[in-house]
Amino acid sequence: MKECYLGVDIGSISTKGVIIDERNDIICKSYIWTEGNPVKAVRKLINILKKELPENCIIKGIGTTGSARKLIGLMLGANAIKNEITAHAVGTLSFHKDVKTILEIGGQDSKVILIRNGIITDFAMNTLCAAGTGSFLSSQAKRLGVSVNDFGSYALKSNSPVKIAARCTVFAESDLVHKAQVGYSKEDIIAGLCKSVVLNYLNNVCKGKRIQSPIVFQGGVSKNEGVVKYFKEILNEDIYVDDNGHLMGAIGIAILSRKNKNGKSYSLDINDIKFETKGFECTLCPNNCEIVRIIKDGKKIDSFGSKCGRY
């Protein structure tokens, strides 16, 4: 039997999964929308991967990363649960050993990771505002009546992108409406949006960071040709976009699962598992912690959210 490892990256917008072998080669992969329900999304994801998994493969490790990593890690009994920074760095280094800067823009968040000699030396993430992320571009594409998949090709047709104030989603939408009303072309507006995403990212997420090449750009927004174009122009550097860049967090956590294997085999038959979460507010002290209890097949297996350790 061929030993394989599952990596799942559960984000607020999308859920990604890969199964790799001992050589880190991808056996199968999938990318779906989370739709506000990470448990349901992961069930769907694993059912997709199971159909593509060769019969001679056996799962010897499961890793989870992303915003719902702990919840899904408990659900799947994962042997590796790590944050996105670590997962993205490990995944990227497995393909690009000399990388020094990782630019990542996802559906709801964005980050920059600085690497020197294969070691993370610094990183930063965006704040609570989602301006300049994939969800921001998606909402603007809908407003303009353009498929988000065609956004990049529209931007490449423009020779004079308009200025869009993208530091705030509300201001950006207001600015976009104004530019459309005064007669700017759709191509110039979209190019302006793509450029503003890059400027917003560099001025906020990368503020004070030393961006050095080789530079790898990943996350769902890396598939946008317009955003890639303006990263190259503004940084005056080559930007490498990996074909699997949108899956790099899942790849990285799958690799960490392989390195942390414990000899145990894992089943992907999770449809019959009853998994639920129940939340309540603890009022026993002024902290008023929001406690989440994790229940699997009717038994409480964990809880989190307590600041004092009571739960």
Q: Which of 99-108, 128-137, 269-278, 295-304 has the lowest mean pLDDT?
A: 128-137
Residues 58, 60, 62: CA angle, nearest 5 degrees: 115
* Residue pLDDT, tens place only, 148-193: 778 888 888 888 888 876 666 666 677 777 777 777 888 888 888 8
Question: pTM for the whole thing?
Answer: 0.86
Lookup: tokens for 204: 């906020």
Task: Tell me if 2-90+250-272 shares its fold with 97-241.
Answer: yes
Dihedral over Cα of 197, 32, 296, 66: its sign? negative
DSSP 3-state percent helix, strand, coil across the chain (nearest 5): 40, 25, 35
Lookup: tokens for 61: 């490790």
Of the candidates 246, 252, 207, the residue with the CA atom closest to the CA atom of residue 114: 207
CATH architecture for the domain at 2-90+250-272: 2-Layer Sandwich (3.30)
Percent of the chain residues topping a pLDDT of 90: 47
Residue 85, classified by CB atoms within 10 Å of its CB into exposed (0-12), middle (13-18) or buried (19+), is: buried
**Per-chain mean pLDDT for the chain:** 88
d(CA 24, CA 39): 26
Domain ranges for the chain, please list them: 2-90+250-272, 97-241, 274-311
Residue 103, CB half-sphere, CA atoms under 13 Å: how many? 34
The pLDDT, as a whole number, for residue 178 is 77
The pLDDT, as a whole number, for residue 109 is 81
Dihedral over Cα of 229, 234, 236, 242: its sign? negative
CB atoms within 10 A of CB 65: 32
Choose between 219 and 176: higher pLDDT.
219
Q: Is 30 left (phi over 0), alpha (psi -120 to 50) or beta?
A: beta
**Is 90 exceeded by the pLDDT of residue 147?**
no
d(CA 194, CA 15): 24
Amino acid, single-letter form, for residue 5: Y
Percent of the chain residues topping a pLDDT of 70: 95
**Could you tell me the CA-to-CA distances from 181 to 73, 116, 184, 186, 225 in Å, in that order?**
49, 47, 8, 11, 26
The pLDDT, as a whole number, for residue 189 is 87
Residues 6+ apart with CB under 8 A from 300: 293, 294
Q: Selecting from 3.40.50.300, 3.30.420.40, 2.30.22.10, 3.90.1200.10, what CATH number does the domain 97-241 have?
A: 3.30.420.40
The pLDDT, as a whole number, for residue 38 is 92
Of the candidates 94, 132, 90, the residue with the CA atom closest to the CA atom of residue 111: 132
* Residue pLDDT, tens place only, 88-141: 999 999 999 999 999 998 877 889 999 999 999 999 988 656 656 777 788 778
Q: What are phi and psi of 3, to 5 degrees?
A: -80, 130
Of the candidates 260, 249, 206, 259, the residue with the CA atom closest to the CA atom of residue 92: 249
